[in-house]
A and B are shown apart, each in its own frame.
Chain A
């Protein structure tokens, strides 16, 4: 029992850490598209760790499956949002397809 709780604690702390890094990334990156990278990848990893901790804590099998399904929906939602915002940001930036350099 205690072992499970230790694992859960580690998962929760790791998840929080990644969410904090995701937020830090929003501040450090100067370009919209880079910020989307940070928000999509890091925050989803954080969500993954927190979901794992919650699944370990689930009162019944159904609740565990439900939390996992919500995770799948959130992953799909996040990937789709990232793609759509990236496309909008690209349109707003105009068609200057210079390969490098972050716009400030």
Chain B
């Protein structure tokens, strides 16, 4: 089972990497902020699987904090965009 979990972790890491390449290409900053949401789901899944595979319970706490912080990053971004919008209009 550990082998299976490790394989899943590697696979998730690969999808994360491919998705990051797409996000890096943009074109708008909203597109790039999707990276944060990506880490909020794929990153959490990856960490939870790793916690099981490597018998590292602390990684579950990392997953929890990552899920919470991904929203805060986006809140920070969105308030900036809205302010830019106000200044423009």
Contact = CB atoms under 8 A, between A and B. Distances in A.
Nearest to B5: A12
Contacts of A47: 41-42, 44-45
B60 to A, nearest CB: 6
Q: Is the interface of B mostly helix, strand, loop or mixed?
A: helix
Contacts of A44: 41
B1 A92 contact: no
Contacts of A85: 30, 33-34, 37, 74, 77-78
Interface residues of B, number: 43
A84 B78 contact: yes
23 contacts: A8-B1, A16-B12, A19-B45, A32-B30, A32-B31, A40-B37, A50-B49, A54-B48, A54-B52, A63-B57, A63-B60, A67-B60, A70-B48, A73-B67, A74-B40, A74-B41, A82-B37, A84-B74, A85-B78, A88-B82, A89-B28, A91-B81, A92-B85
Interface of B: 1, 4-5, 8, 11-12, 15, 18-19, 22-23, 28-31, 33-34, 36-38, 40-42, 44-45, 48-49, 52, 57, 60, 63-64, 67-68, 70-71, 74-75, 77-78, 81-82, 85
